[in-house]
Amino acid sequence: MSHVPAIGAALDNGKSGEPYWKKVFDGFERSKEWIRKAKPDVILLVYNDHAVAFSLDIIPTFALGCAAEFPVADEGWGPRPVPKVIGHPELAAHIAQSVILDEFDLTVVNKMEVDHGLTVPLSLMYGQPKAWPCPVIPLPVNVVVYPPPTANRCYQLGRALRKAIRSYGEDLRVVVFGTGGMSHQLQGPRAGFINSKFDRRFLDRMTKDPKSLTRITHLELLREAGSEGIELVMWLIMRGALDEKVREVHRFYHVPASNTAVGHLILENLK
Amino acid sequence: MRKRNDYDDIPGTTVFDAQRSRQGYHLNMFCMSLMKADNRAQFKAGERAYLDRWPMTEEQKQAVLKRDWNRMISLGGNIYYLAKLFFNDQKSFQYVAAIMTGSTQEEYAAMMLKGGRPPKGNRTLSDWKKKRG
């Protein structure tokens, strides 16, 4: 699902009922109902940081937030008025140990602020609660400095995450959020690029043929989904964490939210 | 020397790769410094003096002073970092996107409402040559 900062601003400033934004928020009504019923014990949230917690000083390709809590960052206009994010350090530590031994050398982060990339998807799913209903483990992925990890690498990390979660001592209901995208370009004379045909096909393949998406190249993503649309690789981490065969519970696609095509899928394992 | 990359064939697009990240390091870190209120106040008090504290090239400093967004990008700026500068100016992504594409904000917003810039005719450098030729 998308994380456009203006979506957060629309909600925070009471503009979610305006016709322009209502079209976006309406697409998540069913999702809110779904997650209320699904009642996850933990959310593993795959997202990208936008030059907030990480800068050009340190650029982890994959990182895992293992802290007990994650303050909401001030991105330059004051922190978003949303609850702080509570982590799940025990499960996060278990995941880190499991996936590193599985040859995914991610960076363990024990102190980190989280930006709109993480909080906007939570707002879309939960609205404006006093506290987020469950702990969240942030998994930031570098998609700002080229090259981001490949689509295949992301999918394989998803497989390793699934194995890690399954081997945890406690039986927890974990929902994985894959965020970002869909097609958009924020920079240069080609800014405003949107490719709905590509996006819709991407959604179809996410549900029915995820393996074909692991062969998608960075060049194709840049050309067909826009320079910032390359962040779609993050969806593959979520997809890899699921079974190969899944049920598509909900789909929503809308253009535009500011400069971006908003796409949203809810997928469930069959059993 | 910059090696030619496959993505150099995408028109109107500057991929923020490792070379550009190196070239734009101080420019981008200057932008990031504006996330702190203290720094914003100092920048406001004297943009040139504040910029002179950063080991940026003169070209980069001029591009910042002129708010020449495409130029900043060509000198190693990244849009997520430049966002700290235009947020400081109380400008939005759409405002800056309109400038970068050479359109008014109204034209740009209207294009987005109609579904955005289409892929047809916008995939390769030769697409753009044909259009302008």
How far A42 CA sits from the closest chain B CA (Å)? 29
In angstroms, rounded to a whole number, what is the distance separating the alpha carbons of residues B119 and A179? Answer: 23
Domain boundaries, position A242: 5-269
Do A120 and A5 form a contact (C-beta atoms < 8 A)?
A: yes
Q: Do residues B68 and B108 both lie within one domain? A: no
pLDDT, tens digit, 9 for 90 and up, residues B65-87: 999 999 999 999 999 999 999 99
Q: Do residues B70 and B32 both lie within one domain? A: yes
Q: Is B1 inside any structural domain?
A: no
Q: How many beta carbons lie within 10 A of that of residue B52, not counting itself?
A: 11
AA identity, residue A215: R
- Burial label for A152, CB within 10 Å (0-12, 13-18, 19+), is middle
Q: Do residues B40 and B88 both lie within one domain? A: yes
Selected for mutation to probe chain A from B5, B80, B127 (highest A CB count within 10 Å) is B80
Whether the predicted pLDDT of A252 surpasses 90: yes
Contact at CB, B123 and A193, closer than 8 angstroms? no
Domain boundaries, position B77: 14-92
Q: How far apart are the first and last CA of chain A?
A: 23
AA identity, residue A40: P
Q: Do residues B85 and B113 both lie within one domain? A: no
pLDDT, tens digit, 9 for 90 and up, residues A6-29: 899 999 999 999 999 999 999 999
Sign of the C-alpha dihedral, residues A231, A233, A237, A238? Answer: positive
Do A244 and A61 form a contact (C-beta atoms < 8 A)?
A: no
Q: Do residues B25 and B82 both lie within one domain? A: yes
In the beta sheet, which residues pair with residue A85?
Answer: A70
Would you call A164 helix, strand, or coil by DSSP? helix
Q: Strand A85-86 to strand A260-269: parallel, antiparallel, or no bridges (unpaired)? A: unpaired
Please report the pLDDT score of residue A271 as a whole number.
80
Whether the predicted pLDDT of A2 surpasses 70: yes
Contact at CB, A195 and B119, closer than 8 angstroms? yes
Q: Compare all CA atoms of chain A with the CA of B74 and give the residue at the minimum distance.
A: A188
pLDDT, tens digit, 9 for 90 and up, residues B79-113: 999 999 999 999 999 999 999 999 999 999 999 99
Q: Is B7 inside any structural domain?
A: no
Confidence of residue B133 (pLDDT cuts 50, 70, 90): low
Per-residue HEC secondary structure of A75-124 comes to: CCCCCCCCCCEECCHHHHHHHHHHHHHCCCCCEEECCCCECHHHHHHHHH
Q: Which residue among A51, A190, A196 sits closest to B122, beta carbon to beta carbon?
A: A190
Residue A116 annotated in active site: yes
Confidence of residue A129 (pLDDT cuts 50, 70, 90): very high
Instruction: State residue B13 phi and psi, 5-degree precision.
Output: -135, 130
Confidence of residue A75 (pLDDT cuts 50, 70, 90): confident
Q: Compare all CA atoms of chain B with the CA of A262 and give the residue at the minimum distance.
A: B115
Question: Does the beta carbon of B74 lie under 8 angstroms from any beta carbon of chain A?
Answer: no
pLDDT, tens digit, 9 for 90 and up, residues A85-99: 999 999 999 999 999
Contact at CB, B7 and A222, closer than 8 angstroms? yes
Confidence of residue A198 (pLDDT cuts 50, 70, 90): very high
Please report the pLDDT score of residue B34 as a whole number.
94
Please report the pLDDT score of residue A76 as a whole number.
78
Please report the pLDDT score of residue A141 as a whole number.
98
Tell me the ipTM for this assembly. Answer: 0.96
**A189 vs A42, A86, A185, A186, B4, CA distance in Å?**
42, 41, 10, 9, 20
What's the total number of domains in chain B? 2
Within 8 A by CB and 6+ apart from B66, the residues are none
Within 8 A by CB and 6+ apart from A114, the residues are A49, A53, A65, A70, A71, A72, A73, A85, A138
Confidence of residue A3 (pLDDT cuts 50, 70, 90): confident
In angstroms, rounded to a whole number, what is the distance separating the alpha carbons of residues B110 and A20? Answer: 12
What's the total number of domains in chain A? 1
CATH of the domain at A90: 3.40.830.10
In angstroms, rounded to a whole number, what is the distance separating the alpha carbons of residues A205 and B24? Answer: 37
Q: Do residues B83 and B117 both lie within one domain? A: no
Active-site entry in A3, A116, A250, A264 = A116
Residue A184 annotated in active site: yes
